[in-house]
Structure 1
């Protein structure tokens, strides 16, 4: 599996750059590269304007300074920026389910939590933050449980959501005639 190349052109937005960097970091971590291997790997993925940018960056520093951490800092500064990271952190802190499905809320939680790791440093804090953003019908019940794994609370919330859907369908089927009659007489 080959990671996507990064162009760094004017169409690149902070979100796309952040996702690209996250995907590349995950891929490089899976193949167990050391930091020099990660740096070599990521440099091979920079093309067009991104390659020009990186060549300009490395031309102004000594070879000893060019490390994986140096690349990450420079990339974040160039393509992602503090304003974007702060905006994503704020979105994470304000994240609520607000009528989304549990799956949609979970996806948004994961997407935004990457920028807010200092707010959820432990499994318990991740669980608590996830539960606090749920709609009240789920939060009321889940807050009284003592979950030890994040996925455990997510799975429980999804199961509750399924049960609610079944109850709603059952109620609608039972009362379909009444609903039609009321609508007819209006």
Structure 2
């Protein structure tokens, strides 16, 4: 009777097509194998002895040879599933390996991987640190800390509350970023092999003195020419004033263009699904979800590019921030009132203020 029952249970177990286990130098293969057959056992409601019998039947090759010796350390009639796992992990998933994976998880970072791959690695690694995964708030915070800064910025601004919402927002932020990069690459490719727009003073170019009569527009002067054609080209004349603004939560400085000037120049910004809140050194907070990507700047006939965020501001047409300075490896000499820069073609030059 018992033999018939065992045969029926074995037949049911094999109907789920469990995987064989031969051997593996990758500890995660062993962990995933245990998890896969555990799922079957829970569905079948197997007791400990049935679990051991079915699991060890799946051992093949080197694993079967190992089991012939290892099973002598257990009382197979009384051993629990936890005791079997301890013996199995002692061979294929050692304590040193578990500690190593736990340390790696505590230091996990997205790095160059995609958000999807980061999520996968996070989900795999969290099982080794129950002190983190046992608390939803701590787990969510640990996940956020590992995200790249640009993705983290968008996620934090969205005020997500759950892991699911956070992952969804991170994936959306990554897609927005990729769309912006593709847009920039498309525009930059159109610059190759042609002179900068507006250099010959073509029709449609606007003199800065006509575009604005307000005082304090220090980014542009009377020598500046702005084309109304796309892509926008900014010529910087005899002096330049750089003002930085700061994203809340990120401390990342950026560059800006006034919404009024965008309208006057008939530009078509790229729009993001995320609305950013920006804190300036003085004045009220600003909000935007519009960008001018890969805007070309001309400084002493040197071509450079900048990504501009469209904001409602007065007193300036364009603000070139720390992102522009860093991109062009600026070295500022306050005493001489000069800035050493690297242009788009990797040529060094010195800008001397008057």
Q: TM-score range, shorter-chain basis?
A: 0.7 to 0.9
Q: Of residues 28, 33, 48 in structure 1, which corresponds to 2:45? A: 33
- Number of equivalenced pairs: 182
Q: What does residue 129 of structure 1 align with?
A: 142
Q: Which residue of 1 aligns with 2:21?
A: 6
Match of residue 98 from structure 2: 85
Does the Cα contact within 8 Å between 1:5 and 1:47 map onto a contact in 2?
yes
Alpha carbons of structure 1 residues 64 and 171: separation in structure 2 relative to 1, 3 Å: same
Q: TM-score, normalised by structure 1?
A: 0.82
Q: Are the aligned partners of 1:120 and 1:129 in contact in 2 as well (CA < 8 Å)?
A: no
> What is the TM-score when the length of structure 2 is the normalising length?
0.46
SS in structure 2 opposite 1:114?
helix
TM-superposition CA deviations, 1:84-110 (whole Å, max 9, x none): 111111111111011211011111112
Larger of the two Rg values belongs to structure: 2
The alpha carbon displacement at 1:135 in A equals 0.3
Structure 2: runs of 5+ lacking an equivalent: 1-15, 195-302, 304-343, 348-354
Q: 1:73 aligns with which of 65, 71, 86?
A: 86
Q: Which has the higher helix share?
A: 1
Q: Which has the higher contact order (CA 8 A, sep 6+)?
A: 1
Give the distance between the partners of 2:177 and 2:131, measured in 1 at CA: 34
- Correspondence for 1:18: 31
What is the CA deviation profile of residues 151-177 of structure 1, one whole-angstrom value per residue up to 9, with x for unaligned ones?
221111001111111122222223332
Structure 1 runs (4+) deviating above 4 angstroms are 179-184
Higher relative strand content? 2
Give the CA RMSD over aligned residues. 2.6
